Structure 1
Amino acid sequence: MYINCHTYYSLRYGTFSEEELLRLAIEFGQEALALTDINNTSACLNFVRLAKAGGVIRPVIGVDFRHNAQQLYVALAVNNAGFQEINDWLSEHSHAHKNIPDLAPSFKNVQVIYPYRQIQKLNKKHFEDYEYLGLDLDDLTYFHSSEWRIYTHKLVFLHPVTFRNKTDFNVHRLLRSIDNNILLSKLRFEQQALPSETFVADLENSLTNTGGENYIFLLENTKKLLDTCRVDFDFSPNRPHQNLQTYTQSLEEDMALLREKVNEGLKKRYDVVTEQISRRIEKELDTISQMSFVAFFLVNWDIIQYCKRMNYFHVGRGSGANSIVAYLLYITDVDPIELDLYFERFMNLFRTSPPDFDIDFSWRDREDVTRYIFERFGKKGQVALLATYNTFQHSGAVRELGKVFGLPKHEIDLLSEGTFVYEQLDATSQLILRYARRIHGMPNHLSVHSSGILISEKPMHYFSATDMPPKGFPTVQFDMIIAENVGLYKYDILAQRGLSKIKDSIEIIKQNQPNAPDFDIHDTKPFMKDPLINNKISQAQCIGCFYVESPAMRMLLKKLSVDNYLALVAASSIIRPGVSQSGMMREYILRHRDPERRKLAHPIMWDLMEETYGVMVYQEDVIKVAHEFAGLGVAEADVLRRGMSGKFRSTDEFRRVNMQFIENCRKMGHPEKIIHEVWNQIESFAGYAFAKGHSASYAIESYQCLFLKTYFPLEFMVAVLNNGGGFYRVETYIHEARIHGGEIISPQINLSSIETHIVGKKIYLGFQFLSGIEEAVISAILTERSQNGPFTSLNDFLDRVAIGIEQIDILLRIGAFDFTGINKRTLLWEAHYRLNKTPPKTLQQELFRTPPKHFNLPKLTSSQLEDVFDQIELLGYPLCDPFDLLLETPVQTHFVEDMPKNINQVITMYGYWVNHKRVKTSKGERMLFGTFLDQRGQWIDTVHFPPVAAKYPLRGRGIYQITGKVVDEFGFLSIEVIEIHHLAYIIDPRFAETSEKSNVQNKKLPSNITEPTRKIYSSSLG
């Protein structure tokens, strides 16, 4: 009879899973068992689910309440209401970060067991009906003389179970050391469990022989206690979901409201309502009603309405875009009729897993959207964030254990990185690696799911205790898998920077071009027909535009000459691993470029997917093939589609549909070879391709970005900079702005803000890009400037802003005081004299300002090159062409524009490194794909096969001399590198020797370096 069992969700304490706990309980002949993790309920629901499925152990759940490692009491739930009471109590203290009190509250449906040592400490002599005194085997040796021996009816067997064996005990001690951040040798007795906390082989005999008295009655009392506890949750596949059941007051009102909002959207979305549209709406509404998801749609609609009121942009994507009801509610902007999207991909009666909408918001807006959801739907504690488990992985486990064993950092690094020969390690290092494997995969701490929010009908504490992480919203203690098992289906509220770029661009355009023509960024259909925008896509001129800017997408767009919406939708899915790795991406490109090759498509596949030349590109294509080619029902076909993912691949349901697919194909007379060929295509990619609606959502957002970049390129690039860039580094987007005519100006004390802003064509970089500048200093500058006007001189600035010499040094070196017309070296000396390294902490306004003392300084100068190297140090890139910083001027032979004339020829080019990607070949060898910019700002794409990658490794940022063969693959030109060399820069004149400095300073930068046609940006040198 065990009423105090721990799993490894007793974080950094327990040593095995809830599955293993149940296995051990069966092995030791238990009929009922209580899971009581320490201040945690993560495993409770899954423990009940597994126990019910096994049918051997009756599960009891509760919590072992402790202060650090000191056990205060164990609480067992009598019923579900009792579990909620326990969760309320635990959450109250978790949210407030308060210690658990020594005494339990007056529970109504909870049994409380105090350990004997705690009873002694409290000198507790009165026990309520729900309170018990727990004895362990060690307590029995002297309990016969205890004054509490008279409470016979209150005595129960409280023996903790934490380990399986001695190894587990060792793991426990290591975890406790990690938790307390101490050396193993410093771990105290009271910080750890006893090694005896295991299942006892002969429990009755142990109780009979302990202390000379028969304590067998403890087992009878414990059994009676366990018999009072009956907690149950429904985990059956057909159980009703536990989400909010009604949005209004009743199901009938909900359905009426949903129809009303659908009809409102119908008038706005469609000029002509066809019979097809009407049938589709009725079909979806019927399914939504049957599956009890009316409130689910209305809650999402409500969230979108709030966002419209707040002018927050959103994108509804994922399989939810397959729903015309979602389209009419403006949850998504993808027309499923136009794209022939199956609703069954999103929701059907056969589907056992929940549907969900993936709704993206701006990263600036998502927190407020989350706040709204909690306030709107969580007034009775019905809303919480989902949790995830951060587990010990090899590197982290090795590092933690290395600290526990007292290893020096360089030895920990060696073990963590795996750069060792195991046999050559000392005994301690080998021990660390062995125990790192033991704790690998164990939960280390709870974290917050990236996007999942639960909105339940019952209070969330009915299912779990909640934590209060730094985000400030209650978070359950289980993950999305457990949530789905019990019927809680998440709402996905995600954040992305792409939407912020769009929203910010529009605001910047209003400020910088107040007379610009009006446009509706949400009306994307005109964008899709715009030849200027489509030409940008076909030429892959998409830098800054969401996901289409990456090197892989640039390559694909050029190979396909993508110049329309549907082609961009297809490209969004073709780039996914399943399509590309199965060979279908290449086949799609071949058929796209060669109409004759399309004849290779099987007639049935061509009829089903003429739009994609008979090649499966989307997840929906699996449904099409299974439905039309194999004769499966659409809902069953979606089961097959879901079965492709690793999570469901082994399920009986998938195997049944798999067999039915083959059997149906045979009945329909398809040749055996074709059956298996089609099946192999399905199996090779379906788990990795995008849903078509998902790709369409991404394509719409890309068109919005492309519209802005085409007609308002400078404002758009400023928005990109202010939202953290994108796939590339900041300097790439500065280059792109300059290419489009922008004049880039370093941060200025009177003209710059925290973020970058634009006036006309002048782009003032924000203070946020200055390395080492403090937020408090920026805030003080902007506040003072706003209240009392621009600064007139350095002395005026120092009189008005409290600043240290290190901070003013940054501002002077970047040229923030260039407006004074005084050389910055002179200003630096003046600042040093004024501040003397001890600036006042605060400044008081003076009634009569006395002029600062004047110092006679020698005439100081600084060269243009010194300014450039200051920019490199403080911004990370210079505001000049990096090619002008080369030690030796390159003998240029070719530019990107020369590549078409030199196909299959070996040429030499010079390129500034942008990025590179490492990949492994089928033989496990390393090769590289590189991205560079030539001297005219055009993109160079390189391929480095394994021998070249090994012989000529890339050394990061800088300029390279690239020699290789020009290769044309489907119209996309790249360089197959033969050799590549990193070129040297000139010496930084600030640190050069006198003779070198003289030579370097005499180097003049070209007078035309500000021309927008030049590539004018760089990064740290070398």
Structure 2
Amino acid sequence: MAQDVKPYVPLHVHTHYSVQDGLSTPEELVDKCQQYGMPACAVTDHGTLFGQMPFAQAAKGKIKAIFGCELYVAPDRMDNRQAKSSHEAAEHLVVYVRNETGYRNLCKLATKACLHGWHYKPRVDDNLLAEHSEGLMASSACLSGRIPRRLLGNRPEDARREAAKYAEIFGRENFFIELMNHGMDEEEQITDELYRISRELKLMAIATNDSHYTNREDARTHDILLCIQTQKTLNDENRMRLPNDEFYLRTPEEMWSWFMRWPDALENTLAVAERCDFVMPENQHLIPNYDLPDGVDHFEYLQKLTMEGLAWRMGDNPPREYLERLEYELGVIRQMNFVDYFLVVWDMIHFARQHAIPVGPGRGSGAGSLVAYCLGITGVDPLKYGLYFERFLNPERKSMPDIDTDFCYRSRKEVVRYLRERYGEMNVAQITTFQSMKARNAFRCVARAMGIPFSETNELLKLIPELPGKKLESLAQIQEADPVGLNRVMEANSQFAEVFREAIKLEGAINAVSTHAAGVVICDHDLTDHVALYRPADGHGSETQVQMDMGGVDKFGLLKIDVLGLRTLTVIWDTVKLLRQHRGIEIDINKIDLNDRAAYRLIQEGNVKGVFQLESAGMRETARQAGVESIEELSAVIALYRPGPMALIPKYLENKFNQDRIVYDPPHTDDILKETYGVAIYQEQVMGLVRACAGFSAGKADNIRRAMSKKKAGELAALKTEFINGCQ
């Protein structure tokens, strides 16, 4: 930014969380704001708060994040659904969060809009705004705002009345008149009158640019995005589109050039930013208080349940190591204030078992807890299989525990319904997940928007390389994959070069909102004190979900429980029931013989089609080559047959069949690696190696494991010297 140009704060900005309407990512916006010397930025996505946590994370330590939303306001009442179009159904109003009360009120507004006001769009009304105005500021929005619409309709007195009404709702110092200039005739027609209203009513005017994409050159890509949203093509003259290429994140120089007649409107953007003091909370550990009779100590109750469970699992005289492990685990659980977490999960599992709902044995790090095993939450003995409790709960790094639980696919809704009844309808919600455009889908959508027939597009799609977890960042990657094929397709259709360029820019853009398959959030009070809730427009009967994805929920600190409906569990349970009904055979699936030679023969022969985790051709062949003979070997093969560790399969096979040649270096690591024939397969083995070689505590070893699994190079570098010193 030039030295003599004053700064400016963008206060009307959309990200790709304005799904298929905004193109910018929060990270792109923050980087641009830094580049332009902007001290702050507001994100005001349409109707929801989906992008607020990602924006908070992107802005941390870089710029001030202002949290807002461009709300849809019903012309009269939000329960009036007489309107015949989205234009009739709602007008726009931008709101900004000033403080914690304002954030809470915005969560309630966005929730009620989605749950009770949906008609074309999630809508609020003036009565609801008045009820939840504390801690918020608002502005008159774009040409779709109520005040601009009245002026465009040649109703200036109505426009003044609406401005005065909003000034009364939010407070005169908290309602602003937005001035926009995208070079549109309609804006020029009303800007002077808007400014006049601000002066007459003693309201601040603010200059904004309705940013839907980051750079001017992204306008074409955004036009294609709108075609994808509306299922139109670029050659359709009647399609929805923005009128020009001015809807990007302008520089301060550009804004001062466009608004030189209203310098106070630019200066006021800084004043608005200064008044926004809310910082998005993180790592709050919002665990519900489990309801027990008065006078009953929660820890003592957990202790009692655990010891009863130990007797159920091990008999009246359990080995001393089990008692010592339980004492340690219970101490950590108490120290980290996670007693109620275990009671909440135990209660859910207890309900399922009481109602004959099949429950899986547990997945993930939760299987490392002996307390969870004794409570019946998991079905895996962690001492028998060498599982670390610290991988689940690390006393050296406080983070929310996470137990993954599987239920019968048919009965999952019954479990979630119980949680709602137990903790309250507004206290339980599922987690949102965002679907983004993958490479092939982006190419297909762009080609369709450009009017290219599918038969021709299909040739192009064959050239897109599969890059799991990676993005195509340039045409060069495709050229490298199949240069001859690419040249042939380019010659056949000159438009394909543009399809490639635009698809690469759209890859990763959010194109749909859906519900996470397992994640459920539980609170002991109204979730809208912390986060907005959502229900799809066509979701009558759909489950309510939080307006955050899994990462946002974890970062915020809400209690998340995985309640996965697993079809395989249903199939197993149905099979057990059919055997009982038709053959009189009783099978306890939790007590089957894990050393059944006949079962391993089927696996060795590759006769496992239809068996969960084993049925793919590659998996069957790997299991056949390995000659799987035990549950430990079966676990190892399943763990190896994944994109990352697949490269270790040859070494594992070689070592298994040549065990006399295995060299353990250093020698004392043989106890850790012997079970997997000298190959480190499991994260627990990484922890064991770090402890054995460098003398790290289990908690510190888990920090290394976590940094490795999440590819956190900075954290690994910080521990490198300590590890090397410990090995000497």
TM-score bin, normalised by smaller chain: 0.7 to 0.9
Residue 564 of structure 2 aligns to a residue in which SS?
Answer: strand
Quick one: which amino acid aligns to residue 229 of structure 2? D
Q: Does 1:77 pair with 2:108? A: no
The aligned counterpart of 1:507 is: 577
Partner of 2:388: 342
Q: 1:183 to 1:599 in 2, by over 3 A?
A: closer
Match of 1:196 in 2: 246
Amino acid at match of 2:379: D
- Trace 1:855-874 onto structure 2 (pairs within 5 A): none
Matching residue of 2:273? 226
Q: How do 1:222-301 residues align onto structure 2 when only pairs under 5 Å count? A: 222-235=269-282, 239-244=283-288, 246=290, 248=292, 253-271=297-315, 272-301=317-346
The aligned counterpart of 1:154 is: 203
Instruction: State the Cα distance separating 1:617 from its structure 2 match.
Output: 3.5
For residues 250 and 16 of structure 1, do their structure 2 counterparts lie closer, same or farther at Cα, with a shift above 3 Å needed? farther
What residue ranges of structure 2 are gaps of 5+ in the alignment?
1-8, 74-85, 151-157, 464-484
Structure 1 residues 74 and 273, CA gap change in structure 2 (3 angstroms): same
- Secondary structure at the aligned position of 2:45 is classed as strand
Q: Alpha carbons of 1:185 and 1:423: their partners in 2 closer, same or farther (altered >3 Å)?
A: closer
Counterpart in 2 of 1:455? 522
Q: Give the distance between the partners of 1:649 and 1:224, measured in 2 at CA.
A: 38
Matches within 5 A, 1:658-697: 658-665=720-727, 667=728
Per-residue deviation at 1:586? 4.3
For residue 184 of structure 1, give the secondary structure of its aligned residue in structure 2. Answer: coil
Structure 1 counterpart of 2:149, from 117, 121, 136: 121
Aligned-residue offset at 1:262: 0.4
Q: 1:408 aligns with which of 421, 442, 453?
A: 453
Q: Do 1:590 and 1:597's aligned partners in 2 also have CA atoms closer than 8 Å?
A: no
**1:164-203 to 2 correspondences below 5 Å:** 164-186=214-236, 191-192=241-242, 195-197=245-247, 198-202=249-253
- Secondary structure of the residue that 1:370 maps to in structure 2? helix
Amino acid corresponding to residue 202 of structure 1 in structure 2 = E
Query: What's 1:430 paired with?
Result: 497
Do structure 1's residue 26 and structure 2's residue 34 form an aligned pair?
yes
TM-score for both structures, normalised by structure 2: 0.81
**Using the alignment, how far apart are the partners of 1:487 and 1:412 within structure 2?**
45
Cα distance between partner residues in 2 of 1:517 and 1:402: 58
| Aligned match for 1:108, one of 133, 136, 161 | 133
Number of the residue aligned with 1:386: 431
Partner of 1:643: 707
- Alignment of 1:311 onto 2:350: no
Q: 1:45 aligned to 2:53?
A: yes
Q: How does 1:328-727 map to 2 (within 5 A)?
A: 328-351=374-397, 353-379=399-425, 381-418=426-463, 420-421=486-487, 423-456=490-523, 459-469=526-536, 470=539, 472-513=542-583, 516=584, 518-524=586-592, 527-528=593-594, 530=596, 533=599, 542-552=608-618, 554-555=620-621, 557-559=623-625, 561-576=627-642, 578-582=644-648, 585-594=649-658, 596-598=660-662, 603-645=667-709, 647-650=710-713, 652-665=714-727, 667=728
The residue type paired with residue 199 of structure 1 is R
- Please show how residues 957-968 of structure 1 align to structure 2 within 5 Å: none
Equivalent pair of 2:111/2:534 in contact (CA under 8 Å): yes
* Stretch deviating more after TM superposition (471-480 or 596-605): 596-605
Q: Is the 8 A contact 2:579 2:585 kept in 1?
A: no
More divergent stretch after superposition (18-27 vs 309-318)? 18-27
Return closer, same or farther for 1:145/1:571 CA change in 2, 3 Å cut-off.
closer
- Corresponding letter in the other structure for 2:263: I
8 Å CA contact retained: 1:65, 1:73: yes
Separation in structure 1 between the aligned mates of residue 33 and residue 238 of structure 2, nearest angstrom: 30
Shift of 1:218: 2.6
How far is 1:519 from its partner? 4.1
Q: How far is 1:468 from its partner?
A: 1.5
- Residue number in structure 2 paired with 1:321: 367
Contact 2:368 2:387 in 1 (8 A): yes
**Whole-Å Cα distance in 2 between the matches of residues 663 and 341 of structure 1?**
26
Any conservation in 1 of the 2:216–2:246 contact (CA below 8 Å)? no
Question: In the TM superposition, what is the alpha-carbon distance from 1:644 to its structure 2 partner?
Answer: 2.4
How many angstroms apart in 2 are the aligned matches of 1:641 and 1:499?
30
CA distance 1:116–1:522, change in 2 (3 Å): closer
RMSD across aligned positions (CA): 3.2
C-alpha separation in 1, matches of 2:351 and 2:542 = 21
Q: Which has the higher contact order (CA 8 A, sep 6+)?
A: 2
Runs of 4 or more off by more than 6 Å in structure 1? Answer: 249-252
Q: 1: CA distance between counterparts of 2:533 and 2:599?
A: 49
User: Which residue does 1:132 correspond to in 2?
Assistant: 176
Kindly provide the CA deviation profile for residues 36-61 of structure 1, in whole angstroms up to 9, marking residues without a partner as x. 0112322212222333322xx32211
- Partner Cα distance (1:288, 1:497) in 2: 33
**Identity, % of aligned positions:** 26
Q: Partners of 2:414 and 2:632 in 1: how far apart? A: 34
Change (3 A) 1:60 1:201: closer
Please state whether the residue corresponding to 1:202 is helix, strand or coil.
Answer: helix
Amino acid at match of 2:506: I
Matches of 2:516 and 2:703 in 1, distance apart? 26
Q: Please tell me whether the aligned partners of residues 73 and 112 of structure 1 are also in contact (alpha carbons under 8 angstroms).
A: yes
**CA deviations over 1:727-763 (Å, ceiling 9, x no partner):** xxxxxxxxxxxxxxxxxxxxxxxxxxxxxxxxxxxxx
Larger mean CA deviation between 164-173 and 102-111 belongs to: 102-111
| C-alpha displacement of 1:545 | 4.2
- In the aligned structure 2, how far is the partner of 1:345 from the partner of 1:492? 17
Cα distance change of structure 1 residues 22 and 555 upon mapping to structure 2, 3 Å threshold: closer
Distance change >3 Å, CA 335–CA 34, structure 1 → 2 = same
Change in Cα spacing, 1:562 to 1:79, as seen in structure 2 (3 Å) is same
Matches within 5 A, 1:655-804: 655-665=717-727, 667=728
Question: Residues of 1 paired with 2:675 and 2:703: CA distance?
Answer: 24
Number of equivalences: 648
Deviations 1:162-210 (Å, cap 9, x if unpaired)? 3444322222222222222222243559753653334254368547643
Mapped partners of 1:548, 1:174: distance in 2: 42
Deviations 1:282-329 (A, max 9, x none): 111111222222222222111111110221112112221111001001
SS in 2 for 1:437: helix
Separation (CA, whole Å) in 1 of partners of 2:37 and 2:570: 60
Q: Secondary structure at the match of 2:421?
A: helix
